Amino acid sequence: MPTRSHYPEGVPCWVDLAASDPAVAEDYYARLLGWEFEAMPDPDGGVYSMAHLRGHAVAAVGGQPPGTPPGTPSHWNTYLAADDVTATTTKVAGAGGLVLMDPADVADAGRMAFVADPTGAVVGLWEAGRHIGAGVRGEAGTLVWSELITTEPAVALAFYEKVLGVTSTATPMPDGTYTVLHAGGEDVGGCAEPRVTGVPSHWQAYFAVDDPDGTAERSRAAGGSTLVAPFDVPGAGRIAVLSDPTGGVFSVILPTPPHSEG
C-alpha cells in the first residue's frame, strides 16, 4: 500500500469537499469509493467528516462556508503542502496572487490558508501538524493526481514556482503537449487549459479506480452523473469526469502504467 508519512512542499497532500448537503455527499462517496466517514469535532458547529479507506484518512467532506448562496454546487478543494504557511503566504501578492484566507491553526492538526493564483484558481495551503494529509495515495479509492486547469498556463505556472517551488515539464502527447508538475522529486500533477469554453481556472482532483466504466455506472446508480464518458489517454490511463449528487465535480482514472507513489 503506497502510504505516506510526509509531503514535501508543493505536493498536493489533501482534498476536501465543500458540500451543499454533506449527508448526501457522504452516502454517495461511501457507495462509489468505499469510504467510511468519521465526524470530527468542530468548535464552530459546522460539519467536517474524515473519509477513511482501510484505516487511512484519504479525504474529507464538510459543509459550505457561512454566507454561501443557497443552491451553490459543491466543490472539491485541493491543498498543497507548505513547510511554513505564514512564510508562503507572504510570497503570494508579489507573485500576482491573492490571499483569500489568512493562515490559521486547525487545533493541533495543522495550519492552513487559502490563496488564489493570478488566473483565479483557488488552492489551499497545508502545514502539517498531527494531520499530514492523505495517509495513502495512488491506490484505488484515493487521490492519485491533481490537475491545474487554467486559462493562462504560463502565468499560473510562474506563480506556483515562485511561491512553492513547483516546476513543470512539457510532455509530448498524441494530441499535443501536456504539462507535468514536479515537487519534492515527484510528478505530482498536471496543467492544462480548459477543454470547454467558459470553465474558470480551478484545481481538479483525480481518484484512482480499478474500473472507470464500472465506476461511472455506480455513480449514476448512486445519484451522480457522468460529465465526460470514460475515454483513453495513451500513456496516462482511462479517465472519466463525474459529478456527485450535490454538484461536486471530480475525475477518476485507471492509470496506465500504474502510477508510482513514494
Rounded to an integer, the average pLDDT of 200-205 is 97
Residue 190 has pLDDT above 90, yes or no: yes
Please state, in angstroms and rounded to a whole number, the distance separating the CA atoms of residues 222 and 233.
26
* Alpha carbons within 13 A on the beta-carbon side of 193: 10
Cell, residue 82: 507548505
- pLDDT value, residue 198: 87
- pLDDT value, residue 195: 84
Cell, residue 212: 472507470
- pLDDT value, residue 43: 59
> Helix, strand, or coil here: 33?
helix
Rounded to an integer, the average pLDDT of 148-164 is 97
CA 12 to each of CA 28, 55, 82, 231: distance values in angstroms, whole numbers, following the listed order: 23, 20, 10, 25
Q: In 3D, which of 211, 260, 202, 219 has the Cα closest to residue 238?
A: 211
Q: In 3D, which of 170, 177, 89 has the Cα closest to residue 126?
A: 89
- pLDDT value, residue 262: 42
CB burial string 226-259: b at 16+ within 10 A, e below = beeebeeeeebbbbbbbbbbbbbbbbbbbbeeeb
| Greater pLDDT, 58 or 172 | 58
- pLDDT value, residue 44: 64
Q: In 3D, which of 216, 202, 200 has the Cα closest to residue 253?
A: 216
What is the model's pTM?
0.94
Rounded to an integer, the average pLDDT of 6-11 is 96
Please state, in angstroms and rounded to a whole number, the distance separating the CA atoms of residues 114 and 14.
13
pLDDT tens track for 107-131? 899 999 999 999 999 999 999 999 9
Q: Which residue has the cell 491573492?
A: 98
Cβ–Cβ under 8 Å, residues 230 and 212: yes
How does the average pLDDT of the chain come out, rounded? 93
Q: Is 96 left (phi over 0), alpha (psi -120 to 50) or beta?
A: left
